[in-house]
Structure 1
Amino acid sequence: MTERLIAPRNRGFLFLDSHPAGCARVVHDMWQTASADRAAETGAPVALIIGSSAGYGLAATIAGLARAGIRGIGVCFEKAPARRTGTAGWYRTAATAELARRHGHDMVFLNGDAFSDDMKNQVTELLKERFGGRLDYLIYSVAAPRRLDPDTGATHASVLKPIGEAYRTKTLTFDSDGVPEVTDVESQPAEGDDIEQTVAVMGGADWERWIEHLERHGLLADGFKTAALSYIGSDLTSAIYRQGTIGAAKAHLEQTARTLDERLAKLGGRAVTSVNGAAVTQSSTAIPGIALYVGLLRGVLDEAMVAPIHQLGELWDQLTGTRPLTVDDEGRVRLDTWELDPAVQAAVTQRWNTAATDTISELANLDWFHAEVQRLYGFAVPGVDYSVPVETDIPWPEPTS
C-alpha cells in the first residue's frame, strides 16, 4: 500500500502531482453525463481511440462507451506512479477501464507511443485476436511535442509560434496565491523549418499512416468511419493558433481528411475532421492568450458553454447514424458553432479589449477557470475528500477475458 496525502503543487498551469480519487471522480461524472446506464449490446461497434486519456480524446472514449456502446482499444502515453504520483491520464484510464468493465464493455487500453509502428502492430494483433478482425471507427486525438518518424528515424519537434512576424497578445496568469494577472506576452515568429516540423508532428501524417496500416491488414469494416479532432477558435487567438504553426498543422490534418475520405469511399466509409469548441485542457493552457480567452468566454456564456463530453456525444451520434453526419464545405463536422456565434464573439471581444488585472475578475469567470485547471489533475472535484490519504500505486488496467 502506498497511501499518501496529496495536495496540489503547481508551477503556473502545470501541476507536479495528480490525485487518483479526483481523477476517478472526474471520469465517473463524465460517464454519468454521457448516459452511463446504457447496457452493452451484442455486436457493439469496435472502435479505436488514439489519445484516449485526456481532453477531447478522453471525452471521445467515455462518450463512445457510455453513449454509443462501443468496445475496442484506447491508446495513450502516460507515466506510472513512482517517486511522484502517476500522471492524471494514468488514473483516468484506470477509472475508465473499471467503469467499462462494470458496464460490460470490452475495452483494452495500451500505454505507449502512438506514432510508433510497434504500437500499430500491437493494435493490429488485438483487433485480429480479440475483436473479430474488424474496426468500425477510429478517433484520432493526439497532441504531442515531438514525433519519431518510423520511416526515416528522424525526430520532429512541434513549436507554438506565429508565422511571418512576432505576435504580442494579452495573457492570463495566476501567482502562487492564485491571484490573477493580465499581462502582455510576445511570441517570436517561426523560422527555419519550424512549420514543416510542426506539421510533421501535429498534421495528418500519422493519422494517415494508421489508416494505411489497418487497411493493409484488412481490418477496416465496410462503412468504416474515422474522425480527427481539431480546433479553429476565435479571431482573438488566430495569430498564435489558426494562422500560426499549429494552424498549418491543422490545415494539413484537414487536407488529409479529404484525401482519406476519397480513399474510404470504396468501403462506403468516411473520414472527417471534427472541429470542437473551446475547453480547458492540458494542451490549451500552454498557448498564449487561450487561458484569458476561455475565461472570458465562460464569463459570457456561463452554463451555456458546451462541455467536451456533450460535444463528443454529438460526434458519436453523427458517426453512428443516430443523427445525420453533417459537414461544412471543407468536410468538417462543426461542433463549435455555439462558440463562434457572432453575438458571442462580439461579447467576448468587448471584454477582451477592456481586460486588465484590475478588471479581469469582473469580466471572466475565474473561479470556474481555476477549478477547471485543477480538475485536469484531479483536484477541486466536488465530492472528493482531500483531507484523507489515497492509494497512488494504481496498476495499469489489464485486459480481462
Structure 2
Amino acid sequence: MSFRHIDPKQRGFLIVNSHPDGAAETVNRMWEQIPARTDGSSPVVLLLGHSAGYGLATLLTGLRRHGIRGVGVAFEGAETERRTATAGWYRTVAADALARKAGRDFVFVNTDAFSAAGKEQVLALVEERYGKVDYLIYSLAAPRRTDPATGTVYHSVIKPLGAPYEAPALDFSADTPKVTHLSLQPASDEERHATEQVMGGADWQLGVQALTASGLLADGFTTVALTYIGSELTAPIYRQGTMGAAKEHLERTTGHLNAELGNTGRAFTAVAVAAVTQASSAIPSIALYTSFLRTVLGGGFRTTAEQASDLWAQLTGAAPLMLDEQGRIRLDGWELDNKVQDQVRELWADPESGLERAGAGAEWFMGQIRELYGWGVDGVDYGRPVETTVGWAA
C-alpha cells in the first residue's frame, strides 16, 4: 500500500505524474456518457492501443454499447520510486472494473504490441480464450518501434517536409496560455521513412497477417485503423509533414490488406477529428488550432466517445458506411465544414487577437490536457492522500 499526497509535476508541456482517482474518474465519466447497449451481440475484438484517446473511447463504447469481448493491448508504466504509474495504467484499471461490473469478458495485456513476443503473447491469449476475432482495431501511437524482422529501431519525428515550417502555436506550459511562434526545419528522407515505419501501416499489416496465419479470422472479419486529415491550416506540419506521410502509408496499407483478405474480410481507415490527446498535444500548432476549433464549435465539439459511437455504428451496420472516394470512413465532416473552417481561419489570421477572443477555448484545452493525467477533474479530492500503487487490470 502506498497512500501519499501528490501534486502535478509539469516539465514544459508535459505532466510527468498522474493521479489515480482523477484518471479513473475520467473513465467513469466517459462510460456514463455512452448509451447502454441496444443489441444482444458480443463480437470478439482485439484492440491495439486501448488506454488513451480514440482507442480508449472505442473500447468503452464497444464494451457498454455493443457488449464486446476480447483483448486490449497497451504499453504502460507501473509506479516507480520517483513517479506514479502512467495515466494509461490507471485508466486501464478503471476500464477493467467497469467491464467486469457490466459482465463483459475483456482482458487487458500490458506489452509492447510492436514486438514479436508481444504479438505471440496476445495471439495465444486470443486463441485460448476467445477463438476467432471479429474486429481488429488499430489505434497505436508511439515515439519508436523496433522492426521485429530486422531489429532496426525507428524513431518518429514531427517535422515538415520539403520546406521549413513557421507558424503560431499555443504555449500552455504556464498557468496562462499564450501564443508563441515556432520554426522547424524539414525532415530528412531517413526521418520521413522512420516516421512511416513507426506510425504507418507496417505493424497493422503484420498484426492482420499474424491473425490470418493463426486461423483466427472470423467470417466477415473487419479491421480499422485510425487516421487524421485536418485543416489546411495545420497541413504543413501534419498532413504534408512526416506525420501525414505516415498516415498516407497507413491508408495505402488498407489496399494491401484488402487484397490479402480477399473475400474473408475487409480493412478501412477511419478519419477522426481533432481531439485533445497525449499524442496530438505534442504536435506543434495543433493545440492552438484545436483551441480555436473548440471556440467556434462550443458545445458542438464532438467528444471522442461520440465519434467512437459513430464508428461502431458504421462498422456493425447499424448505420451506413460514410466513405470518401478513397474508401476511408469519414467521421470529420463537422470539423471540416466550410463555415466552421472559415471562422477558424479568421482567428488564425491574427492569432494573438484570436486567442483573446478564444480564451475559453484555450482554457478548455489546458483543462483537457490536465485531465489526460487525472488532474483538475471535478469531484476528485486532491487534498487527501491517495493509493498510487495499483495493480494492473485483474
Alpha-carbon offset, residue 179 of structure 1: 1.5
The superposition leaves residues 146-192 of structure 1 with CA deviations (integer Å, 9 ceiling, x where unpaired) of 1100111111111111010111010010353x122211100110114
Q: Which moved more, 1:191-200 or 1:202-211?
A: 191-200
2:364 is aligned with 1:372: no
Question: Residue 383 of structure 2 aligns to a residue in which SS?
Answer: coil
1:172 to 170, 173, 182: 170
Q: Which moved more, 1:258-267 or 1:109-118?
A: 258-267
2:143 to 126, 142, 145: 145
Q: Distance in 1 between matches of 2:262 and 2:339?
A: 38
> 2:30 maps to what in 1?
30
1:272 to 268, 271, 274: 268
> 1:318 maps to what in 2?
314
Q: Does the 8 Å CA contact 2:296/2:340 hold for their aligned counterparts?
A: yes
Question: Residue 334 of structure 2 aligns to a residue in which SS?
Answer: helix
Whichever residue aligns with residue 180 of structure 1, its letter is P
Q: Distance in 2 between matches of 1:175 and 1:221?
A: 47
The superposition leaves residues 18-76 of structure 1 with CA deviations (integer Å, 9 ceiling, x where unpaired) of 011011110011111112x44994x6100011000011111111111111210100000
Whichever residue aligns with residue 64 of structure 2, its letter is A
> 2:281 maps to what in 1?
285
Whichever residue aligns with residue 32 of structure 2, its letter is Q
Q: Does the 8 Å CA contact 1:68/1:320 hold for their aligned counterparts?
A: no
Question: Residue 339 of structure 1 aligns to a residue in which SS?
Answer: coil
Question: Residue 44 of structure 1 aligns to a residue in which SS?
Answer: coil
Q: How does 1:66-215 map to 2 (within 5 A)?
A: 66-83=64-81, 84-131=83-130, 133-176=131-174, 178-215=175-212
Alpha-carbon offset, residue 261 of structure 1: 2.1
Same amino acid, percent of matched pairs: 51
Q: How does 1:318-337 map to 2 (within 5 A)?
A: 318-337=314-333
Alpha-carbon offset, residue 258 of structure 1: 1.9
Q: Does the 8 Å CA contact 2:347/2:354 hold for their aligned counterparts?
A: no
> 1:225 maps to what in 2?
222
Gaps of 5+ in 1: none
2:342 is aligned with 1:342: no
Question: Residue 235 of structure 1 aligns to a residue in which SS?
Answer: coil
Question: Residue 168 of structure 1 aligns to a residue in which SS?
Answer: strand
Q: Does the 8 Å CA contact 2:39/2:66 hold for their aligned counterparts?
A: no
Q: Distance in 2 between matches of 1:246 and 1:90?
A: 26
Gaps of 5+ in 2: none
Matched residues, number: 392
> 1:63 maps to what in 2?
61
Q: Does the 8 Å CA contact 1:40/1:103 hold for their aligned counterparts?
A: no
Q: Does the 8 Å CA contact 1:40/1:105 hold for their aligned counterparts?
A: no
Q: Distance in 2 between matches of 1:158 and 1:359?
A: 31
Q: Distance in 2 between matches of 1:40 and 1:82?
A: 43
TM-score, length-scaled by structure 1: 0.95
Question: Residue 306 of structure 1 aligns to a residue in which SS?
Answer: coil
Whichever residue aligns with residue 328 of structure 2, its letter is R
Query: Once superposed, what is the RMSD of the aligned Cα atoms?
Result: 1.4
Q: Distance in 2 between matches of 1:5 and 1:123?
A: 36
Q: Does the 8 Å CA contact 2:223/2:267 hold for their aligned counterparts?
A: yes
Alpha-carbon offset, residue 128 of structure 1: 1.4
Question: Residue 151 of structure 2 aligns to a residue in which SS?
Answer: coil
Q: Distance in 1 between matches of 2:324 and 2:116?
A: 33
The superposition leaves residues 87-137 of structure 1 with CA deviations (integer Å, 9 ceiling, x where unpaired) of 000000000001000100011111111101111111111111111x20000
